[in-house]
Every structure is written in structure tokens, then in C-alpha cells.
Amino acid sequence: MGKTKLKEDYKNQVKNYQPKPRYLINCIKAFIIGGLICTFGQVVQNFYIHVFNFSEKDAGNPTAGTLILISAILTGVGVYDKLGQFAGAGSAVPITGFANSMTSAAIEHRSEGIVLGIATNMFKLAGSVIVFGVVAAYIVGIIRYFYGLAF
């Protein structure tokens, strides 16, 4: 009982010195930066559509690849991490945030070697995302298949 009381007293004392989260400002920054990233993605897609005469459907994959490449490069030179510290959740726009996470893991563990360092630690994060994506796609495919049979 004494340890529990001591832990609670410590938590209450520390609480007085912790900065209060600024929820409104953080939400506004996340909204603006996330919106700017998505707007940049739309600009890249329009570039592929107008310069290379891709259809809107065909421009999706090169746009995603370009955003992944830019995010990985910006992570490698330390810019994307600073953007993430400023924007919070706004920088975690799915494809660029995922590329940032993968690249950060690869950079952090590069001293351990290519296979045991980079590949192993990079895919610890990617593995769960890929598995969830495959399972979700399978479930949606099954639902769509049976929905198509019903109508």
C-alpha cells in the first residue's frame, strides 16, 4: 500500500510541472500541414495527368511513388522529422507518414547490417500494416462479391 501511495503522490507533484497540451493550436497545425501535404499530392497527380497524359486512374500509382520517394528523402536529411514535431498528426498523412516511419527505422538500425538491422527492423512496422491491409482488402472483396450476387 505504501508504494502505491508514493507513486500517486509523485504523479500529482509531476503534474504541476508538465506543460498543458494546446489542443486547439495542435489541431489547427495538423489540419493545415496535413492539408498542404494532400494539396501537394494533388499537384503531383495533376502533373502526371497533364504532362504525361495519364488518366486520373493511371496517375495514382506514380503519384504515390513520388510522395513516398520525397518523404523518404526528406526523412533521410532530417526535414520530415522536424515537420512531424511541428505538425504532429498532420504529418502522418497515410502514405508519407508510413514512408517516414519505414525510413526512420532503416536509418536508426543501419549500423546492425542490411538484413538484421535495416530489413528486420523496418519490416517490424510494415508487417502489421501490410497484414492489416491484405486482410481488410480480402474482407471488403468478399463483401463486394456477395453484394454483387445479391443485386
Question: Are 66 and 44 in contact, with CB atoms under 8 Å apart?
Answer: yes
Distances in Å between the alpha carbon of 138 and those of 111, 128, 148, 149? 37, 15, 15, 17
| pTM check: above 0.85 | no
10 pLDDT more than 80: yes
Question: Are 44 and 95 in contact, with CB atoms under 8 Å apart?
Answer: no
pLDDT at residue 1 in the model = 54
C-alpha cell of residue 71: 518523404
pLDDT at residue 56 in the model = 94
Mean pLDDT for 127-140 is 88
Q: What DSSP character marks residue 133?
A: H
Of all residues in the chain, what percent carry a pLDDT higher than 70?
98
25-77 residue pLDDT tens: 999 999 999 999 999 999 999 999 999 999 999 999 999 999 999 999 999 99
pLDDT at residue 2 in the model = 66
Number of neighbouring beta carbons within 10 Å of residue 17: 6
C-alpha cell of residue 45: 497527380
Interatomic CA distance for residues 46 and 30, integer angstroms: 24
Query: For all residues of the chain together, what is the average pLDDT?
Result: 89
Interatomic CA distance for residues 145 and 91, integer angstroms: 35
Interatomic CA distance for residues 45 and 33, integer angstroms: 18
14 pLDDT more than 90: no
- Domain spans of the chain? 19-150
Reduced to 3 states (helix: H, G, I; strand: E, B; else coil), residue 19 is: coil
Question: Are 109 and 125 in contact, with CB atoms under 8 Å apart?
Answer: no
Number of neighbouring beta carbons within 10 Å of residue 19: 5
